Each structure stands twice: as structure tokens, then as C-alpha cells.
Amino acid sequence: MEPRKIPRFLIFLLLLPLAASAGWLREDAAIMGTAINVELWHADADRGRALIRSVMNEMHRIDSLMSSYKPDSELSRINAEAAERPVTVSTELLALIGQALEYSGITHGAFDITYASAGQYYDYRRGTRPDSKQLAEALPAINYRHVRLDSEHSTVQFLQPGVRIDLGGIAKGYAVDRSITMLLEAGVRNALVSAGGDTRVIGSHWDHPWKIGIRDPRDGDGIVSTLPLEDAAISTSGDYERFFDEDGVRYHHILNPGTGDSPREVHSTSIIGSNATATDALSTSVFVMGVRKGLKLVNSLPDTEAIIIDNQG
């Protein structure tokens, strides 16, 4: 039957359930050791829910590739073997490590995935940290120049023993970007994806910009500011996410690669930019660099803004 011969009321009846199921959808999950939140608008709620599921699957996929906690991840294989010989990895992991090394260059080493050479000795749940001997041994291994990538053969090699890498400062932003790309390719125009402190939004929420709150670093539920954002990414790094206090000193999950200790000049840094891989890496970087050097870096980069809460609040 030719389309135009379908009676109009029939078309109306066929479209009715579609229109009725359009709307805003939201799901939360715990993946990559953090809270994942996906919100989107879709004209077909079933299709929208399927897309959210594929985003969650993508997060799981990236986690099993890049987690340092999973012994069979590609990343763990690098850490186990790359000091002995070049380790063949996926082009995807190679590319993200390559990006991480670029941020090391831009930040003069404030962002450095080899921080983990010392970071491995911290346990924030137990409240333990490296003793001075462990730290002295680990420090020479912290240097992004020890990581050699061979893109032709897709291999990673460490040029020094004792080197460990961890992508905790960039992988969540990357996962958020991958998710947003998937949603855009599927035709979604209004969405939010967040993984812990890394968020990216496209379009708007109802007919307003998305609103992203910046937490008060010393008040669990408090919000110091709410930012309206459209088609932007924002990442916050804070000293209140994973930490322990000892004799009035806070040891938290961001480390200065030069000292193997936590920086204490600022309490949180938020970076606003166009993609979450960049804002994730930069929020960690600016945290390490502090107010003066951090803002100088931010001002030198296109499409990049910062909100820093220093240790005076």
C-alpha cells in the first residue's frame, strides 16, 4: 500500500503512543568507583532508555580497559610488564596515554600519570601513606618522560624500573566524552553525563541551561555556586573526595609529582571547557599548580575557565 493511502486517523493512532512516551529520562549507577548519572530527552522513551544502557555499558568497557584495580585490565598489564619490555595495547588506551603525556607537557609535569609510582603506597580508606624510605625510592620513578609510546607498534614501555601509571586523573573525563559522542551520534540533542566530578552537557534541560553546582569543599551538602551551562564540560577536583587527616594535615588523592605529597594551597578547582577529557586533566593539574600558576595556565588556553577555592575558602 502506498503511504498516502493510509487513512489519516490511523497515522494519528500509530503516532499517539510514541508522542505519549517522549520525555526526560534519568539513570544513576556506580561504575569506575564513582557515581554515574545520565539524563537525556528522547522522543521515544524506550529508545532513550536503551541509549542510557549503552552509555552505562561503555563506562563498564572503559573501566575494564583502564582500571588500576582490575588485575586483568590493559592498564594493569602495562604496570606489570612495561618496565621489562614494550607491552602491546589497544590504540584507544595508547591514544589516551598519549593525551595524558601531552597534558604533562602543557602543565610542566604537574599532571603526571606516573604519580602512581608513589601513589600506590597511599591507602585513603586505611589512612596509610608511604614512609620516607618508600617515598625516596618512588620519587625518581615519577616522571612522564619515563613512559615511551610507540604508535606504529601500539606499545607502551617504561624506561625506568619502579614506574607505575594510573589514569584516575583523566579516564572519567574520557568516559564522559565517549558517552556524549555516542549520544550525539544517536541523534540525542539534550543530555547530561557525569562521572563523579566530571560532567558534560549538550543542549539544554527543559528550556533552561543545565545547572551544575560547585560543592563547598568543607560542607558535605553545601553548594557555593551554581553555573548555567550549555554544550560544555566541567570538572571539579577536591581534597574532600578521598582523604584522611593525620595530626591536622590532610592527605588526599591528588599528589604533587615533585614531592609525592598532597598539595594544600587549594581545596578545590573547577575547570569549565568544551570537553571533559581536557577539563578532567586540567582540574587535577590546576589543583597541583596552585592559584597563581594554575590561573596563568588557564588564561593561556582557549575556551577554558576556572573556579578555584583556596585554603582560605
> What residues line the site for Mg ion (CB under 5 A)?
169, 237, 280, 283-284
Residue 271 phi/psi, 5-degree rounding, is -120, 135
We find the least distance from the C-beta atom of residue 114 to ligand ADP, in angstroms, to be: 8
| Residue 255 binds which entry of Mg ion, ligand ADP, none, CB below 5-8 Å type-dependent | ligand ADP
| Residue 273 binds which entry of ligand ADP, Mg ion, none, CB below 5-8 Å type-dependent | none
Residues at the contact surface with ligand ADP, assessed by CB under 6 A: 111-113, 115, 166, 168-169, 172, 196-198, 237, 241, 253-255, 257, 280, 283-284, 288
Instruction: Locate 89 and state its grid cell.
Output: 595495547
* 100 DSSP 8-state letter: H
We find the least distance from the C-beta atom of residue 269 to ligand ADP, in angstroms, to be: 8
We find the least distance from the C-beta atom of residue 216 to ligand ADP, in angstroms, to be: 16
Q: 103, 281 in Cβ contact below 8 A?
A: yes
Instruction: Give the CB-nearest residue to ligand ADP.
Output: 168
The DSSP string of 134-200 is: HHHHHGGG--GGGEEEETTTTEEEESSTT-----TTTHHHHHHHHHHHHHHHTT--SEEEEETTEEE
| Residue 262 binds which entry of Mg ion, ligand ADP, none, CB below 5-8 Å type-dependent | none
Instruction: Locate 51 and state its grid cell.
Output: 541509549
| Residue 253 binds which entry of ligand ADP, Mg ion, none, CB below 5-8 Å type-dependent | ligand ADP
Distance CA 98, CA 73 (A): 18
We find the least distance from the C-beta atom of residue 267 to ligand ADP, in angstroms, to be: 12
